[in-house]
A = this chain, B = another copy of it.
Amino acid sequence: MATVSALGYALLCALHRGPLTGYDLVQRMAKPIGYYWTARQSQIYPELARLSAAGLIEHDAEDGPGPRQRKTHRLTAAGRETLAAWLVEPPAPRAPRDEAVLKTYALAAADPDRMREFYLAEAEAYQRRLDDFRAQHAELRSRNGDDPAHPQFGAYATLELAVLSTPVRIQWCRWMAERMAELGRRRAR
């Protein structure tokens, strides 16, 4: 049994609803799946070759725009089984690398007024993302994506989490901005 990397599983996940080209996968790793798992094309193409060698995906080819052939990849029966087995396994606890929180830990080393601006900018950035999430969430719901039996329910559920958790983050950023303002006023006296 060939061992599959996390990236490999991410590609199998992306392919679970139907065939896609490498280019399609690059797009998905940027936008919908990219919210919780990303990869560059320089990772994706070699990984597709590995999955293919392991017999988990297959493709057919036709003439494409560039000098190479356009390949449409799909899961094999083995790929679908491997994916299904992995899905139900408890995830290995991963490191959540959050730069804004890291900066918060050391915030005493920076100027409170500058940090206040930092948190306000963060809040705005998350607000824009939230608007995006809400739009997609509503769009999917209008097409019955909120039905657990609907093939898009998985995508809907990831947006549900985004729509629930992003406001908490915004709230925290605003709270931080308030604390920094308070500290600035106290320092000024």
Question: Are A179 and B154 in touch, CB under 8 angstroms?
Answer: no
Given contacts A102-B10, A149-B186, A164-B172, contact A88 B117 (CB under 8 A): yes
Question: Are B87 and A107 in touch, CB under 8 angstroms?
Answer: yes
Chain B binder among A19-27, A34-42, A130-138: A34-42
Is A55 an interface residue, CB under 8 A from the partner?
A: no
The CB with the most chain B CB atoms within 10 A, among A12, A87, A93, A172, is that of: A87
Q: What are 13 inter-chain pairs, A to B, with CB distance below 8 A?
A: A10-B102, A16-B109, A36-B98, A37-B99, A37-B102, A80-B109, A84-B111, A88-B117, A108-B153, A148-B182, A161-B172, A165-B165, A165-B169
Residue on B nearest A38 in the bound complex, by CB: B95
Question: Are A97 and B36 in touch, CB under 8 angstroms?
Answer: yes
Is A171 an interface residue, CB under 8 A from the partner?
A: yes
Is A83 an interface residue, CB under 8 A from the partner?
A: yes
- State the main secondary structure of chain A at its contact with B: helix
Is A114 an interface residue, CB under 8 A from the partner?
A: yes
A-side residues, CB < 8 A to B, are: 6, 9-10, 12-14, 16-17, 32-38, 80, 83-84, 86-112, 114-115, 117-118, 121-122, 125, 148-149, 151, 153-155, 157-158, 160-161, 164-165, 168-169, 171-172, 175-176, 179-180, 182-183, 186
Which of the residues B83, B98, B106 comes within 8 Å of A87, measured between beta carbons? B106
